[in-house]
Structure 1
């Protein structure tokens, strides 16, 4: 009797597995492969700075043409150029746009932990009731921590030119 029950359960499991396998192939929804490429290029912090709830939705909106390639502040100009290249569109760069990073005035910081809880990139380190600091190499300038700080001790400052952030200046047109 137990042997028959085991055989029936194995047959039931195999038939349901085969049915699910057929359904996954027959009912597959084809998507644009550029969405997956764009999602892989985006920072993945789900910060919402572009106006979309997450990076997947932002990639879908960019492919549809509803969102500009420059709409991801954490990605900066380099990401915008890569996205525009993938989508085959032009990027209008603002010459006055400067990359920014968060800066914490440590003498004013009370250690409330709201800033590093708001940072989707883990660029802020510190402990409760202790001073916090920003890892500038990780900070993307998304400004979420600035909005979360109740003391106002967090500000955005122009990113210092370093070896990995330096860009060749464009020639001036006469």
Structure 2
């Protein structure tokens, strides 16, 4: 299970973030369209939106026969924080910890006469870390790989 799914009830967050996305695009959010885009039944969307409105995260209005919604100032702030949290939870924390340990170990070796038998296992571990979706880990792993390659020369 991903941290994102563990910490955030996916559909509820998706609904709020969809409203934010639609508003940022300059359009008006409609519950039926939100329902289709997040893949949840209209009845569920309506229930969640009612809860959002009850807690002053959104305001709704009837325009003809269609209901529109919009984020309140507090709702927008919550949605933006959830968006940031969702991005944060996508990070590969295990890879980041391994990278920090490897980096620390490599730094302790720097400047000493390092044997190939010491560097090769480290190099293999660093290369494994490049298989993550976390771009920051990939970049740092590539940099650490270069450092290890220099030690082999």
Q: Do Structure 1 and Structure 2 share a fold, with TM-score over 0.5?
A: no
Between the two structures, name the one with larger relative contact order (CA 8 Å, sep ≥ 6): 2
TM-score using structure 1 length = 0.21
TM-score using structure 2 length = 0.23
